[in-house]
Each structure stands twice: as C-alpha cells, then as structure tokens.
Amino acid sequence: MPALNSLAAKPFDTTTTFADRISFVHIYVVEPHPKAPEVSPYSGNVWEAQYSTKIQPHTYEQRCANARDTGALVTGRQLMLVDALTPGANNPVWCTYGTCPNCAFLIRQDGTVDTVHTWFNAASMESAMRTLLAR
C-alpha cells in the first residue's frame, strides 16, 4: 500500500496529483499468504509471511471484513472493492485478470487494458500513466 499511496498522491503537474487524473481502484481478492492453518491458493500448503495477519475468508462477509481492515491502509482518493465470494461466482476478478497477489492494471476509459504488471512496480506504472495521459 505505501507505494500505491505515494503514487496516487504524487504530483502529475503543478495543480493535480495522479489520483486527480486517474482512478485508483484496489480489488480485495484471495489472501495469498493467509494465517495458519489456512493454505495458500498458490502452493496448497501453509505459506505464511511476515505480513500474514488474516485468515482465508470463506464467506463474502469475512472477505469484506478483511477488505475494511486493509482499506484502512489506503490513503487519499482511492477506492477499495471486494471480489465476489458466493457459490457459482467465486473470485471472478481474480480468475479473469490473473491469479497474482500483486497485479496492477492501467485501464483506459474505453476499457482497453493499457499496461499490465504481474508484480506492481511504481516507477514503471508512473511512466505508463504519464504516457497515457499525454495522449
């Protein structure tokens, strides 16, 4: 979150920030490294990390609670949405856009995906956003 918070707040020009020009939307999906005894969706095993503070939600309500906690780390003009977790509609965003825990997408207003990061890189995304906004 710190890198995205910084990028959103970064000046685009003398009067606006990137968040003034581009909508920053976070989508809360599966936990890549849930607390034990939950297993990671990537390994099928317990795979905790130093930031493993949440269980793998098994209901949409649990996922929303996790998203609210995580959303508290988001600053400025950014939006937190929650991927579906219901029978027949589990994780449609995660399954459609890539099952990666730190993906980032720059999407044009017409819905065309302009830039894809399978692992978010703030400097590279800033460059892509400046290029897109210069068009």
pLDDT tens-digit map of 13-62: 999 999 999 999 999 999 999 999 999 999 999 999 888 999 999 999 99
| Beta-carbon-side half-sphere exposure of residue 53 (alpha carbons within 13 Å) | 6
Statement: residue 99 has pLDDT above 90: no
- From CA 85, how far away is CA 1, in angstroms rounded? 23
Quote the pLDDT of residue 89. Answer: 84
pTM of the shown model: 0.90
CA-to-CA separations, 64 to 19, 49, 50, 59, 132, in angstroms, rounded: 24, 22, 22, 9, 32
Q: Which residue has the higher pLDDT, 89 or 80?
A: 80
Half-sphere exposure of 90 (CA within 13 A, CB side): 7
Percent of the chain with pLDDT strictly greater than 70: 100
